Amino acid sequence: MADGFSHAGKENCSEQARRGQVSSPCSQFQRSFIQRVTLLGRLPTSFVLHGEKKQKVAALLGIDQDTMKSLPEGDLQDCLLSKVDLRRQQISQRVEEVQKIIHHLTTEISHQDSRFQAVPASKTYNDSIKVLAPSLFHVTVPLKGLAGYKAARAQRWRYYDLQGTKLTCPLRDPEGLQQWLETEQFMKTLWQWHQADVNIEGDIVPAKVLQVFRTLVENAVRTCHLSGKVSVLTNRAAVWVAVETSTGQVELELAPTVEIPTAWSEKAQWPRCLKRWPPPERVECIKSFGFNLVARSSYHWQLSFPQAEQVLLEQLDEDGGCRKRCFQVLRQLKEDVWCPGKRPVITTHHLQTVLFWTCEKYPNLKDWQVFHQGLLRLARKLHRCVSQHFLKHYFVPKSNLLQSANPSELDAVAQKVAFFLKNPQVSLP
Q: What is the pLDDT of residues 36-63, one digit of tens each?
A: 444 443 343 333 344 444 454 444 444 3
What is the phi/psi pair of residue 216, to 5°? -65, -40
State residue 306's pLDDT score: 96
Q: Where are the domains of the chain?
A: 15-90, 91-422
Q: Which CATH architecture has domain 91-422?
A: Orthogonal Bundle (1.10)
* SS3 at position 279: coil
Q: Which long-range contacts (CB under 8 A, 24 or more apart) does 135-138 make?
A: 135/248, 135/249, 135/250, 135/251, 135/342, 136/250, 136/251, 136/342, 136/343, 136/344, 136/347, 137/95, 137/98, 137/250, 137/251, 137/252, 137/253, 138/252, 138/253, 138/255
Higher pLDDT, 229 or 82: 229
pLDDT tens, 97-141? 999 999 999 999 999 999 999 999 887 778 899 999 999 999 999
Comparing C-alpha atoms, which of 365, 264, 325, 402 is closest to residue 84?
325
How deeply is 157 buried, as exposed, middle or buried, from its count of CB atoms within 10 A (0-12, 13-18, 19+)?
A: exposed
pLDDT tens, 249-283? 999 999 999 999 989 999 998 999 888 999 888 89
CA 258 – CA 265 distance, rounded (Å): 13
Reported confidence tier of residue 20, pLDDT bands at 50, 70, 90: very low
Question: What is the torsional sign of CA 188, 194, 200, 201?
Answer: positive
CA 6 – CA 91 distance, rounded (Å): 10
Q: What percent of the chain has pLDDT over 70?
A: 79
For range 214-220, the mean pLDDT: 98
Cα-Cα end-to-end distance for the chain: 29
State residue 290's pLDDT score: 96
Higher pLDDT, 149 or 328: 149
Residue 403 CB: number of other CB atoms within 10 A? 11
Reported confidence tier of residue 68, pLDDT bands at 50, 70, 90: very low
Comparing C-alpha atoms, which of 2, 20, 3 is closest to residue 83?
20
